[in-house]
Structures are given as structure tokens and as C-alpha cells.
Amino acid sequence: MPPSIQALTHTYFRHNKRFPHVWCPGCGNGIVMGALLRAITRLELEKDEIVLASGIGCSGRMPTYLDFNTLHTTHGRALTFATGIKLANPALNVVAIMGDGDATAIGGNHLIHAARRNLNLTAIIINNSIYGMTGGQYSPTTPFGSTTTTSVYGHIEHAFSIAELAVTAGASFVARSTVYHAALADQLIEQAMMKPGFAVVEIISNCHVQYGRRNKIGNAVEMLTAFKEQAVTVKKAATMEQKELQGKVTIGVLADRDLPVSTDEYKKIRERARAAQEES
Amino acid sequence: MSEEIHARRLLQGNEAIVQGALAARCRFFAGYPITPASEIAEQLSVRLPAVNGTFIQMEDEIASIGAVIGASLAGGKAMTATSGPGFSLMQENLGFACAAEVPCVIVNVMRGGPSTGLPTSPAQGDVQMARWGTHGDHSIIVLAVSSVLDSFIMTVRAFNLAEKYRVPVIILSDEVVAHTRESVELPLKSEVKVVDRIAPGMPPDWYKPYQEDARGVPPMAAFGDGYRHHVTGLVHDQDGFPTQNPQEVEKFHQRLSMKITKGLPDIQLTRKFHMDDAELFVVAYGSVARSAMRAVEEARMAGIRAGLVQLITLFPFPRRTLTPYLQQCHSVLVPELNLGQISREVQRVNQGQCTVVKQNRVDGRLITPQEIYNRLVKLSSGRLS
């Protein structure tokens, strides 16, 4: 039995924080936050050993509410701060929470290099295909042809596939879920936090206020229903033709590989440096 | 155990910064290659892992200072080093360090600018950027180094100030100071005073990370120490949570400014030469201060009552040090490797009492002692009794 929402709230919400939160009713961010908390509960991690670092945007507010070591950084830079934290204290379990614009536009360079570098970090990217907080402008994951406040005549750029990008950039673990598939999201986050090396979980989410409404997909329920219909498991996707996969979202684990983890490799560097100094 | 002995060593400015950082117990460096600062990264990549520290080369300067701030939040003393173009990229997160009160040290080895400029020539064009580069009203500490020994001493000092006041401290060096090799005798480990940030002493439940106290600088808990708290670049209340309450917003700004103002006597460092009876004086910093020192000595030999105030702290600008001399002297000469960035400050604090004369060079070459001497002779002529 997963812990009740009430139990999660009582255990992990900050009692000295003024609520309500900033998210709109029906926002997928809450589902992702719940998934993260359920994963942490199952892993039996201490609050003191967890650092939750975010960037800017709606997703950036998540750390504010939770009783961990929390950090709300600058736009796109969550992974850079997380890198410094992890290297300075490798005992900490560092999770970066980002949005699609945050992680792949302004922070795109940091994302691919964090994946290549392969520190023992977890990145959760909430992908709602839009800049929600600033009023619904197109992001790197906005689908071709969509309407946004900066593409009222139709969006003419192509969308990034965040998870595929992370696979190519070299992350040890890459997975994708949607906010409809909340139980899968729990599992994937748990696996990501356990995985040595850089782990990315992309969670497709709904911004019905800025995206769904404008693109006639509808409200939160209708957007979640759409995710249900679009989702195809990795296993099933492998049996499908490229043409059949158009407009589908592959969910599950896209990459799980054992690569040297630079947080561990650096221990060897320290030994080599000490040996070299003793020799001289 | 080997006994420490004073020894003379041939070092360049960038090497002295490395030695100073290690002496100050810096244990984290993140940076990106750039001329003329790269030696700092190269040497720390060798030295830091041997002392259980960490070196990392990041994908750009934005990431470098991000990692530095992260490391500092996790309890380590951290620094980065760059030059003009990289320093431009760091401005965003520099503001974060100011707002969230994260101690760190940023070395900017200045070269010619703007843009890619003159990568291998000295300049002092980043002085006002160091003060005002990041957006929004903020207090900041900027130190300028003029020699190899200074590079060591002021790097230690920069860490100490950063830890004491919970601010980013910027060290401005320049291509000449960075690459000049000098024979220096560095202080022994036992002679170096190292300041560490104050950790909270109260139980975690009582800890308010940004609470105002008499010192104005709240104790700082490291992530993982049991004092779970929130750190943000948003304007925050004493618990660290975002606020738009006008009273709390006002308080946030005032404390960040006041904590520096309260520390002025400790923060504002200058050196004075022949100032007691000076009739005219030079205000200089960085490599130019050394040309100025020689020029002043020669002017004295020629019977001119010249003096020098060398600025080590550029910001907060040491107004109180200069005011009496601006009243005492008829002229002040401000030689700089830019078109007049500190002369602006001198003019600002002068209030018309003294003639402020600029002397600028922006051709990638140094201002020589002879050039400064000639200007001193000109300024004193007609005024000698």
C-alpha cells in the first residue's frame, strides 16, 4: 500500500511555510511531487540527506514546500548548483527538479554536460510543453504547429525529445512517464534515485491553463486522458513501425547502463594526486 | 614533523592566488579555461585532490559559478577564476550569491575588452562591472591585487571576508600581475589567519537561516548538517521563504546592505605612502599602483611633495580614507588602464575640494612610472613655493 496523501503531507510538507502553493488547480506538478515523495518513502531516505534543487518556473517552486535541504536556483542552472553540492558532499542524495524550458532551453547545455559527466545525480524534468509561469510562450518541447502566446500563427520549430536527448548525451539511466501514469512515475523516480550515475526521469505533464486550453485539448482531465491514449510502453514501441509511433509517447525505461560514475572516479584522482605528492 | 621555514620562491601572480586559496582552506574549484587566468585552474586541478578537495572543469562560466555556490552551500570553501568574457557570464549567479548570502571567491584576471578584446594584454576595464555587473541593488566586496605577494595575501583575505560577511568577494588581478614572476617569501601556515563562517549553535527547530542579529550576518548551516532550510534567489523572509510583503522586502535589502556598511573598517583596505605632508597624490590600484609608487619616490627625490594611496579594496569605495587627503591636497592623479572607472569614484567623493586628474591608457600597455612622474611634475609646477 502506498502511503496516503495525508501521511505524505504530514511527513514531508514544511509546517512553517505559508500555503497555498502557487500551482493552478489540476496542475501535474503535484502528481510529480507526490511521486517523488512516495519514492523517497519507499527508499527510506532521511530528510537530512536529501537535497532538492530547482530552477525557475512553476516546477521551481516545488522545493519551497518540502522539508528537505532545498534550493531554488536561477533559471536553467539547477544542475550546476547540484553538481557543486554533490561534489562537495557526496553523501548527500541530490535531486534536481526542472521544467522543459528550464532544462532544455536556457539550461540545455548544463543538461547534456551533466549527462556526459555522469555524476551521481537525479534529474526530474516536468515537461508540459510550455512556459507556464510567464504566460504560455513556446518552449523547446512545444509541438510543431501549436498555438502559444508567442506563436499565435502556429509554431514553426520542432520539439526536443528530452529523454532521447539524455540517452544520446550519455546518462546512465533515462526513463519517461506521464502524470497519468503516476504509479509508473513513482517507480521510475525510485529507480533513478537508486541508480549510480546521472539519472533522468522525464515526466510529461499538463498545463491545461496555458497549453491545453489554447490548443483545444481541454482541461486537466482531458489532457490526462490524452496522455493515457498517447502512451506506449518501451516494450510495445519496439514492435511498432515508425509511422505508427507518430504522435505517441514512449514510457518506461529508455536506458539503464553501468558507466563509470565521476563522483566515484574522483576518489581515484585524489589517491593518484596524494601518491604523486608523496613521491615529489 | 618538519618545521616550517621561511623560504623565497619564484612565483607568478596566478600561482600565488592558488597558494593563497589553499592556505585559506579552499577545497573546491570549478572553472572554465580562459586566458590569462587558466594557470589558476591548472594548478588547482593538481593540488586540490591531494588535500581531499575537488576540482572540476565545467561547460561554461555560468555553470562554474553555479557549482561554486552549490559547493559553498554544502559547507565547502569554494572559488572560481576567469577573465572578462567569463566574468560577464557569471553576473547572473553572482547576484544569486549576494541574495542568498553564499560565501565564495571569484577571481577576475582582467584583460583588454570589451568583448573578446585583448586576451594577452593587461587592462583594468572590469572595475565598474565588478561593482555593478549583476542586476539589482546589491552590496559587494571587490579587492585589487598589485603584486605576487599581494595575490597570496589578498586571496586569503578574500576568503576571510567572504566567510565573515557571507558575500561573494571578487579579486581583480590583471594580466601583468598574473603572469609576472617575482621572488617572494610567503607567510608560514602558522602566520596565516583563516576565518570560517559561523555555524548555527541553536537546535535545528529554532534555526531561522536569514534572521537579523546584532552582527547582521546570520549563522550559516551546510546542507546535510541537520538544519534543513530553504535557499532561494527570490526575495525572502527570515525563514528563507519567498515574500512580497513590503516590510520584509525592505528588511531584506537593508540588511544585505547594512552588513557590509557595518564592516567597513574591516573591509576597506588601502596602503598609504608619503601621505602625511603630501600636497598632491596619486590614487592607484593593481599593477598601476607599482608604477605610481616608483613615480612618487622619484617625485619626492625631485622635491615634489607627492604621495600615493593604493586602493586594495575598490568596493565598497574607501571614501573615508580619501576624504582628508582630498581636503589636504590641491590635486589628485588617478592613473588607470581604462578610460576612467575609479576616477569616477574619486570625483564622486571629492565634492570639489581637489582637482581630480585622470590618466588613462587603453592600448594594452602599462602606464610607466615615467608617465606618472611627468604628470606629477606638471601638476606641481607653478605650485612649488
The H or E element spanning position B119 is strand B118-122
- Measured over all CA atoms, what is the biggest interatomic distance in chain B, rounded to whole angstroms? 71
Mean pLDDT in residue range B73-95: 98
Query: Within 10 A of A105 (CB to CB), how many other CB atoms are there?
Result: 17
- Residue A150 near chain B (CB below 8 Å): no
Q: What is the pLDDT of residue B2?
A: 53
Single out the residue of B367, B368, B365 nearest to residue B121, CA to CA. B365
pLDDT of residue B275: 98
Top pLDDT among A4 and B126 is at: B126
A64/B76 CB distance under 8 A:
no
Contact A87 B49 (CB under 8 A): no
pLDDT in tens, B319-341: 999 999 999 999 999 999 999 99
- Burial code (b: 16+ CB inside 10 Å, e: under 16) for B30-39 equals bbbebebbbb
DSSP assigned state of A36: H
pLDDT in tens, B177-193: 999 999 999 999 999 99
Whether the pLDDT of residue B384 is over 70: the answer is no
Nearest residue, CB atoms, B69 vs list A84, A86, A113: A84
Task: With cut-offs at 50, 70 and 90, classify the pLDDT of residue B1.
Answer: very low
Bridge partners (DSSP) of residue A97 are A54, A124
pLDDT at B383: 63
* A88·B54 Cβ contact <8 A: yes
Residues of chain B in contact with residue A20, where contact means CB-CB under 8 angstroms, are none
Question: Running DSSP on this structure, what letter comes out for residue A106?
Answer: I
CB neighbour class for B277 (10 Å; exposed up to 12, middle 13-18, buried from 19): exposed
Q: CA B273 to CA B297: how far, in whole Å? A: 9
Query: Measured between alpha carbons, how far is B235 from B242 in angstroms, rounded to an integer?
Result: 6
Nearest to A200 by CA among A235, A176, A220: A176
Q: List the beta bridge partners of residue A177.
A: A203
Mean residue pLDDT across chain B: 96
In the beta sheet, which residues pair with residue B302? none
Contact: A84, B72; criterion CB under 8 Å = yes
Q: Does A243 touch chain B (CB under 8 A)?
A: no
Rounded distance between C-alpha atoms, residue B122 and residue B127, angstroms: 13
The pTM of this model reads 0.97
State pLDDT tens for residues A130-160: 999 999 999 999 999 999 999 999 999 999 9
- Report the pLDDT averaged over residues B150-162: 98
Q: What is the CA radius of gyration of chain A?
A: 19
Cβ separation of A72 and B234 shorter than 8 Å? yes
Looking at residue B162, what is its pLDDT? 98
Shortest distance, CA A43 to any CA of chain B (angstroms): 18
Would you call A221 an interface residue with chain B, using a CB distance cutoff of 8 Å?
A: no
Q: Above 60 in pLDDT, residue B385?
A: no
ipTM: 0.97
Give how far A269 is from chain B: nearest CA, Å: 7
The predicted pLDDT at position B3 comes to 63
Which residues of chain A carry a pLDDT beneath 50? none
Q: Which residues are within 8 A (CB) of B297 and not within 5 positions of it... i.e. 6 or more apart? A: none
Distance CA B227, CA B220 (A): 9
Residue B39, C-alpha cell as written in the block: 594557470
**Cis ω on the peptide bond leading into residue A196 (within 30° of 0)?**
no
Per-residue pLDDT, B122: 95
HSE, side-chain direction, 13 A CA sphere, residue B211 = 11
**Chain B contact for A89 (CB, 8 A cutoff):** yes
Q: Which residues of A touch B233 (CB under 8 A)?
A: 72-74
Nearest to B44 by CA among B155, B130, B145, B144: B155
Q: Which residue of A has its CA nearest to B57?
A: A117
Q: In the A/B pair of chains, how many CB contacts fall below 8 A?
A: 148
